[in-house]
Each structure stands twice: as structure tokens, then as C-alpha cells.
Amino acid sequence: MAAGSHQPIEKVLIMKLFTEHPESVGESYLEHMGVAASFGGQLFLASMACFVHAVLPFLFTKTGSGIITKLHTRMVTGRSRVPASAADDVTTAQS
């Protein structure tokens, strides 16, 4: 067998690494990247507010917890989950 004969299978497996989780939450890879980056930015702001609050407890008294609450609402109540079998069907259909 030629070394390149496994390339399609390897490509499918690599693609699955990047698409399986995003598809499980009903997003494309790029959509998921945007959502995850947005969450990361909000968490960064929350962490900065918490560090400032640690030194100056009269500042940002509810900022960190407020951001976390909003993110939880977005992630848990605002997203749909695609059953694993449906995500597998989408991956199979793409190959």
C-alpha cells in the first residue's frame, strides 16, 4: 500500500477533531470559535475586576459574579445541544 492511501481517513479524523464538539452544540467551527472567544474575553474582564476587587474591595463588588451569571445563562439556557448521534450523522454526511 502506498503511504498516501490513508490520507482521506486521516483527513476525516483530523476534521472530526475540529468539528465534533462545535457540531454537538449546533455551531460550525468558525461560529464556535467566535462564541468561545467571546466567552474568553468576558472571563478575562471578570478576572481583572476580581483582581482589582481583591485589593480594593469597595470596587467591582458585583462585576465578576454578574459576568459569570450572564455567561452561565448564555451557555446553559441559551444554547441547544445536538444529540451525539445527530452530530455523528452530520460528520458522516460531510465526508
pLDDT of 58-84, one tens digit each? 999 999 999 999 999 988 887 666 665
Taking the model in full, what pTM does it have? Answer: 0.68
Nearest to 80 by CA among 2, 26, 31, 43: 26
For residue 53, give the amino acid letter: H
Using CA atoms, how far apart are residues 8 and 1, in angstroms rounded to an integer? Answer: 14
Q: What pLDDT does residue 89 have?
A: 53
For the stretch 5-64, pLDDT in tens is: 566 888 889 999 999 999 998 899 999 999 999 999 999 999 999 999 999 999 999 999
What's the grid cell of residue 2? Answer: 502506498
Residue 78 DSSP class: S
pLDDT confidence of residue 29: 95
